[in-house]
Amino acid sequence: MEIEKDGYPNPPKQENVGGCLFTVVLLFVLLSFFPIFNSPSKTEVPYSQFRNQVRDGKVGKVVVGENRVEYFLKKDLESAEKSKSANPDKSYVTVPLPKDQTLPNLLEDNKVEFEVKPNNGNNSIFAVLGWLIPPFLLLLLLAWLANNAQGLGGASNPLNAGRSKARVYLGDSNEVGFTFADVAGIDEAKAELEEVVDFLKNPERYTRLGAKIPKGILLIGAPGTGKTLLAKAVAGEAGVPFISVSGSEFIEMFVGVGAARIRNLFEQAKQLSPCIIFIDELDAFAKSRESSGMFAGGNDEREQTLNQMLTQMDGFEGNTGVIIIGATNRPEVLDKALLRPGRFDRQVVVDRPDKIGRLAILKVHTQDVVLEENIDLSIIAGRTPGFVGADLANLVNEAALLAAREHREAVSMSDFNEALERLIAGLEKKTRILNETERTIVAYHECGHAIVGALVSGPVEKISIIPRGVGALGYTLQLPEEDRFLMLEDEIYARITTLLAGRSAEEVVFGKISTGASDDIQKATDLAERSVTLYGMSQNLGPIAMEKPQSSFLDGSYNSRRPVSSVVAAAIDREVKEIIETAHNQARLILKTNRDLLEEMAQHLLEQEVLEGEELHSYLNRVKAP
């Protein structure tokens, strides 16, 4: 476990043991090889040449080995004496004939100094090194690993593999960094957790009546709704240590490491009691064992970690002061044993904020941002339905960056509008130049969206033929006027009609179609199919769900269609096709009725590239129903 604040110091810095050992081993090896490095150069010669040189009186000294003969010439020995060197710089080596008994007599007859030495002198050095160097290298490797592990808080040390990787913050709210004042837009979730804060501050109030605080609290919500921030705020309000870890940090290649880390986490949490353990992305190791497939009941690392988690949550009393807060956006995949009473027995939904919540979040994130006096944050909150806290924080930051880029003294409403368009449609790509034919097609396409959308699905704020994002050659911006939590059948069909209006405009004006409507067609088809298979809006098939949502908090996450008969599948296809064709025909009828207005708007858009505000509304107010 890594302690990051005063009072729970990090492990002290260790000396560079690995570096010292490496230096010692290197010196040892160099000294061992010193005699070799200092030996003269050796030249291989034939044995016959050696004997001839002996007879000619050129050889001064001979060293006879077991399998070879090394000798020095007289001239080299004389040169070494003059230079006062211990050995000549050059010697000669030859391999004698096997069992040559005449060599000693030959050397004596020619008065050559000779000596006999075993030929394993240097081999003895290598034998010693062969025994000593491998253990030293092993010690060097272990010291290097230990030294690096200290530099990383012990995370990489193989001897500390079972230690938790959790980060610990002190209970002081200034060090945790957050309180409930920093959390906005999720008042219901805050109210649920106030009881936890009160228990951590005043445990006697509950224990004297025999009450037990829930051991585990599960925060459920879409990504970016503030689950981690809320958990930190609980610790900051209560003034207790906050232990934070991700669920993926328990899973390793070796079975048993995750379970050991769970045990270590709970042991250190008890030492810091009262405290809060926060496990983010709990589903990383706590998925249902029913979906484990061939590994169900086996020696799987994820299952071992989950089993240890279940055991640890049963192994301490609820009033020990250790509160476990988990967070996930996939509660449907969690193991049922983890959610039973006595473990994670309280679930708190951290939902997307409504307009009032978004306004509160914007006020929190703009506290340190210089705003113009005329900015109305409620307008921005109304234009951002579906945005979570992370999205709104990003929106404020993008607006501030745009204002700074333009060297303005304060952030204006136009900066927020541009930042919102960036988040929705992507960055403007003014360098992408369309030819005249493409600009014309895009202009009529977007005007078709605007005319049909203004009539059937709601107000249009802006039309542009400036390319944005990935593949968007133009866009039509529709912003809702209020939060909507349900969609009526008529509204779904109106949305499909608006999506198909761009393609319909191309057909009405040019009599042929382009590839620009591919994304619109995909979205329209998905929405039509969902209305039939998920929402049960088909008159022929009735209220039967053919799809099952995989997650309530991850957008667009749906399972494949349930197994159905070929007859039902064909009926679904017919229903979807009928919905699409009806919407397509309605869009063409609206555009034919407003053909002159479509022409006028498109020409104006080709000149200005952007239509918005009163200028745009003056056109759309003239749209006539067929």
pLDDT at position 253 is 63
Q: What's the half-sphere exposure (Cβ side, CA atoms, 13 Å) at 86? A: 4
pLDDT at position 431 is 64
Q: Are residues 488 and 572 in the same domain?
A: yes
Mean pLDDT of 104-129: 70
pLDDT at position 397 is 94
Question: Residue 1 — pLDDT band, cuts 50, 70, 90?
Answer: very low
Burial class (CB in 10 A: 0-12, 13-18, 19+), 450: buried
The CA distance from 525 to 539, in Å, is: 18
The CATH number that applies at residue 510 is 1.20.58.760
pLDDT at position 249 is 83
Q: Are residues 87 and 235 in the same domain?
A: no
The CATH number that applies at residue 113 is 3.30.720.210
Q: Are residues 51 and 88 in the same domain?
A: yes
pLDDT at position 176 is 60
Residue 155, pLDDT above cutoff 70: no
Q: Against a cut of 0.85, is the pTM above it?
A: no
Range in 3-17, 442-456, 461-475, 583-597 the model is least confident about:
3-17
Mean pLDDT of 45-70: 83
Q: Are residues 68 and 172 in the same domain?
A: no
Q: Which of 299, 327, 350 is the last residue of a domain?
A: 350
DSSP, collapsed to helix, strand or coil, labels residue 484 as coil
User: Are the CB atoms for 571 and 540 separated by under 8 Å?
Assistant: yes
- Average model confidence (pLDDT) across the chain: 80
Highest mean pLDDT among 24-28, 286-290, 541-545 belongs to 541-545
Q: Which of 117, 134, 160 is the last residue of a domain?
A: 160
Q: Are residues 26 and 109 in the same domain?
A: yes
Q: Are residues 19 and 95 in the same domain?
A: yes
Residue 203 belongs to some domain of the structure: yes
pLDDT at position 92 is 82
Q: Are residues 500 and 569 in the same domain?
A: yes
Residue 387 belongs to some domain of the structure: yes
Question: Residue 171 — pLDDT band, cuts 50, 70, 90?
Answer: low
Range in 51-60, 342-351, 449-458, 553-562 the model is least confident about:
553-562
Catalytic residues: 446
Residue 282 belongs to some domain of the structure: yes
pLDDT at position 11 is 39
Q: Are residues 333 and 455 in the same domain?
A: no
Q: Which domain holds residue 372?
A: 355-425
Residue 40, pLDDT above cutoff 70: no
User: Are the CB atoms for 392 and 362 separated by under 8 Å?
Assistant: yes
Residue 154 belongs to some domain of the structure: yes
pLDDT at position 454 is 92
The CA distance from 432 to 464, in Å, is: 14
Q: Are residues 36 and 72 in the same domain?
A: yes
Q: Percent of the chain having pLDDT more than 70?
A: 80
pLDDT tens string 191-210: 888 888 888 788 788 878 88
β-strand pairing of 275-280 with 322-328: parallel
The CA distance from 308 to 257, in Å, is: 11
Q: How many domains does the chain have?
A: 4
pLDDT at position 360 is 92
The CATH number that applies at residue 189 is 3.40.50.300
The residue ranking higher by pLDDT, 431 or 97, is 97
Highest mean pLDDT among 88-92, 466-470, 471-475, 518-522 belongs to 518-522
Q: Are residues 446 and 592 in the same domain?
A: yes
DSSP, collapsed to helix, strand or coil, labels residue 323 as strand
The CA distance from 302 to 335, in Å, is: 12
pLDDT at position 498 is 95
